[in-house]
Amino acid sequence: MNKNRVIKRISIRRIVSAIFLLLIVSACTTRNSGYSSLTDKAQPTVASLITNFSGETRISDFSIRTQPKALVEIPNNASGITWHPYLKQYFIIRNNAAVIYRYDQNFKYLGQLKKTGKINNDTEGLTYSDSNHVLIVTEANTAHRVELNQQIFNGLYFWSNSDYRLDSYPKQKNKGFEAIAFRPPSASRTARIYAGQEGSRRYPNAKMRVVYFDASARPSFMSRLLTEEDEHFKVVEPFNAEEKFAGVITDISGMTFDPVGKTLIIVSQESHKAIQVDPATGELLSQLPLTGAPSYEGVTIGPNGQLVFVSEKNWVQIYTKNNNDKVSMQ
């Protein structure tokens, strides 16, 4: 065999091996570094993009100023809602369908996305996260990280980049995790993802739970799924929700953080109420009885600091601060 040809083959093998090694190192680095965009100082903070709602704002100071709006594009089962401060759109997830509906800040319909891949169809809640991602939680007790961009909007399909197993399947059918919320980072804390298990007054086996995991958790190079068997992923239950919320609410259907990430806002479909709590202790800070549209399933904070609720009957109801005349829906 020609000597030059042998040397060429050896060089190609070395180059391929070097590329493969770099990919492994890069994957491991990504796994342990978390969201690079979350530590990017050039990225605006959520608090700078969502106005009129601070960590000291209390939801008891909100009231209805507009009539509920019917979401005629959603045939049934609107379940979770989030205002994405970086993408500047509302996203609404439909349960038992795995479809995301897109709206502008005045709830003008922009289109829908259908899932592809192995996301469970019973998609119950979603939240914004970093610059162009959302997190979705399903009744199968798994959360999914999904990238959204113009290419995906044009293609009309979404899929999961990372999967997070929060628990085994719920003991009571259809009473798994329904809510998910992103706590933005600050100079003194890392980003976290909170999730809420539904619970119910009707079923003894259905218990409310609030858990969190660090947003820096990343699957390995060879797997997309993280479970508690992975040393880099831990699901923490900071307080007993059944005890803390006893006599206040009986289920958790949706949740969101204030833009500062100081308080957690939870909506209860059964109790027709929203509550605001300390995410570390579950201490009740404020509460708001809900009227207007029926069967509230999700909550988010809009661009002008509005409390925006979505109803399973496919209505959106906006609450605004009593001293704030701004509304987002025309």
Tell me: do 192 and 72 sit in the same domain: yes
In a domain, 92, yes or no: yes
Gap between the Cα atoms of 177 and 123, Å rounded = 10
Number of domains in the chain: 2
Clarify whether residues 14 and 138 are in a common domain: no
Same domain, 153 and 260: yes
Q: What is the pLDDT of residues 207-237, one digit of tens each?
A: 999 999 999 887 766 678 889 888 889 999 9
- Local structure of 186: helix, strand or coil: strand
140 in the same domain as 26: no
Please tell me whether residues 23 and 61 are part of one structural domain: no
Show the tokens assigned to 197. Answer: 């298990």
In a domain, 259, yes or no: yes
The answer to whether 225 touches 165, Cβ cutoff 8 Å, is yes
128 in the same domain as 13: no
Query: Looking at 38-52, 97-111, 155-169, 193-207, which range is the least confident one?
Result: 38-52
Whether 329 is in a domain gets the answer: no
CATH number at residue 152: 2.130.10
Per the CB < 8 A criterion, the answer to whether 166 and 235 are in contact is: yes
- Written as six digits, the tokens of 120 are 């469970």
What is the pLDDT averaged over residues 153-158? Answer: 96
236 compared with 118, residue with greater pLDDT: 236
**Do 23 and 49 share a structural domain?**
no
Residues 238 and 270 in one domain: yes
* Residue 327 counted as domain residue: no
- pLDDT, one tens digit per residue, over 67-96 is 999 999 999 999 999 999 999 999 999 999
Cα distance between residue 21 and residue 15, in whole Å = 10
Through-space distance between the first and last CA atoms of the chain, rounded to whole angstroms: 78
17: pLDDT strictly greater than 80: no
Per residue in 283-324, pLDDT tens?
999 999 999 888 899 999 999 999 999 998 899 999 999 976
Does 10 reside within a domain? yes
φ/ψ (deg, to 5) at 266: -120, 135
Give a yes or no: residue 163 inside a domain.
yes
Whether 115 and 164 share a structural domain: yes
Same domain assignment for residues 25 and 109: no
In a domain, 326, yes or no: no
* Phi, psi for residue 187 in degrees, rounded to 5: -65, -25
SS3 content of the chain, % helix, strand, coil (to 5): 15, 35, 50
Q: Within this chain, do residues 68 and 215 fall inside the same structural domain, yes or no?
A: yes
Q: Is 286 exposed, middle or buried (0-12, 13-18, 19+ CB in 10 A)?
A: middle
| Domain limits for position 91 | 41-321
**Residue 253 burial (CB count, 10 A):** 28
Let me know whether 20 and 99 are in one domain.
no
Confidence of residue 4 (pLDDT cuts 50, 70, 90): low
Q: Kindly report the pTM of this predicted structure.
A: 0.85
pLDDT given for residue 63 in this prediction = 96
